[in-house]
């Protein structure tokens, strides 16, 4: 809800804001209590999204690999000490095809991502979200 502008009988203009908009305004002016209330809202929403399964946390080792601009599949393979041959076997593909996925010259299908995730005990959504929705 946006602000509402009211005019009193004496001609004074008033602005009515939602509590959240008011807290945002105060926080921008440096009010720490308002900042704390807003951070509490953000934390509550994040916890609810995690609890419902809407969101999930990435393992630190995986995030570190992505931050180092490494391929997600290669990051998983190396973290779990899998050889290319072993990972390809688990995924039901050839080593050459796995190499193409790791080099980014081909997009892995969801079945491949799910087989790899299941083998290493990862949440299936992690690898799936690393690729454009609809491609994986």
Extended strands (E) in the chain:
4-7, 13-16
Q: Cα–Cα distance between 102 and 78 in angstroms, integer?
A: 11
Q: Are 102 and 87 in contact (CB under 8 A)?
A: no
Q: What is the pTM of this model?
A: 0.67
Whether 19 maps to a domain, the answer reads yes
Burial class (CB in 10 A: 0-12, 13-18, 19+), 9: exposed
pLDDT tens-place values along the chain, 136 residues long:
789 999 999 999 999 999 999 999 999 999 999 999 999 999 999 999 999 988 888 999 999 999 999 999 999 999 999 999 999 999 999 999 999 999 999 999 999 999 999 999 999 999 999 986 544 4
Q: Cα–Cα distance between 106 and 99 in angstroms, integer?
A: 9
Whether 115 maps to a domain, the answer reads yes
Whether 135 maps to a domain, the answer reads no
Whether 28 maps to a domain, the answer reads yes
Range of the domain at 34: 4-52
124 and 75 housed in the same domain: yes
Whether 134 maps to a domain, the answer reads no
Q: Total structural domains in the chain?
A: 2
Whether 133 maps to a domain, the answer reads no
Q: Cα–Cα distance between 96 and 103 in angstroms, integer?
A: 10
């Amino acid at each position: 809800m946006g602000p509402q502008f009211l005019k009193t009988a004496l001609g004074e203009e008033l602005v009515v804001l939602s509590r959240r908009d008011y807290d945002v305004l105060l926080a921008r002016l440096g009010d720490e209590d308002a900042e704390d209330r807003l951070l509490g809202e953000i934390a509550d929403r994040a916890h609810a999204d995690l609890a419902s399964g809407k969101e999930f946390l990435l393992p630190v080792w995986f995030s570190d690999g992505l931050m180092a601009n490494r391929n997600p599949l290669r990051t998983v393979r190396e973290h779990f000490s899998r050889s290319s041959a072993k990972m390809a076997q688990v995924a039901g593909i050839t080593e050459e095809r796995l190499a193409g996925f790791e080099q980014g010259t081909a997009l892995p299908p969801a079945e491949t991502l799910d087989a790899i995730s299941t083998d290493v005990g990862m949440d299936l959504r992690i690898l799936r979200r690393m690729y454009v929705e609809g491609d994986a």
